[in-house]
Amino acid sequence: MPQSMAVACFTVPSSAAKRPWRTSKKPKLEKRQRNSSVGFGAERRKEPLWQCVEGCGACCKLDKGPAFPTPEEIFTDPSVVEMYRNQIGPDGWCIHYEKNTRKCSIYSDRPFFCRVEPEVFQSLYGVKKNKFNKEACRCCRDAIKDIYGSNSKELENFNRAIRDST
């Protein structure tokens, strides 16, 4: 991810946190079907690759409201909860977020929970590495819809970026 895309994610909507990937496995047949071509001449469908897009910043609104799990529900370490809460400004956005540029002012030193990386998703949310892209994209979409709306140019930009990544 280029440095200019200076924001990262802390976004696990309740709906994602409760999704089946935490507790159940999909049937083998379904998995085989997902990974194979459908019919003669059909193209194998590639999964979009997650990427952060410039001019977004939706995940830097840290006070996310009742539709999202609280830090206490996500982090087991109270010091991490405290660190997270200390970053919330009076308007609910991260104190390190620069609204005029929509960038993170501490990008290279941002906390681990801001990093959209397979290891972080696995340790925080139990997302297996092979599901990282899918879940990271879903988290971004949920955050962007929440902040900018379902018909926003930010959502359009994000969807285009991940579509073009395949």
Judge whether 57 and 103 are in contact, CB under 8 Å.
Answer: yes
Lay out the site mask for ligand SF4 across 71-90 (x = CB under 6 A, - = otherwise).
----------------x---
Regarding 143 and contact with ligand SF4 (CB under 6 A), the answer is: yes
By C-beta, is 23 or 150 nearer to ligand SF4?
Answer: 150
Q: Which long-range contacts (CB under 8 A, 24 or more apart) does 19-28 make?
A: 21/126, 21/127, 21/128, 21/131, 21/135, 22/126
Q: How many residues line the site for ligand SF4 (CB under 6 A)? A: 25
Quick one: angle between helices 132-148 and 118-125, nearest 10?
Answer: 80
Piece of the chain touching ligand SF4 by CB under 6 A; list 6-14, 28-36, 37-45, 122-130: 6-14
CA–CA gap between residue 157 and residue 166 (Å, rounded): 15
Q: Which residues from 88-117 bind ligand SF4, rule CB under 6 A?
A: 94, 96-97, 104, 106, 110, 114, 116
Among 12, 16, 58, 155, which residue interacts with ligand SF4 (rule: CB under 6 A)?
A: 58
Both tokens assigned to 114:
């801001």
b/e sequence 143-155, b meaning 16+ C-beta within 10 Å: bbbbbbeeeeebb
Judge whether 154 and 55 are in contact, CB under 8 Å.
Answer: yes
Among 12, 13, 16, 59, which residue interacts with ligand SF4 (rule: CB under 6 A)?
A: 59
Regarding 138 and contact with ligand SF4 (CB under 6 A), the answer is: no
The helix/strand/coil state of 39 is coil
Piece of the chain touching ligand SF4 by CB under 6 A; list 37-45, 72-80, 127-135, 136-144: 136-144
Contacts with ligand SF4 by CB under 6 A lie at 7-10, 52-53, 56-60, 62, 87, 94, 96-97, 104, 106, 110, 114, 116, 140, 143-144, 158
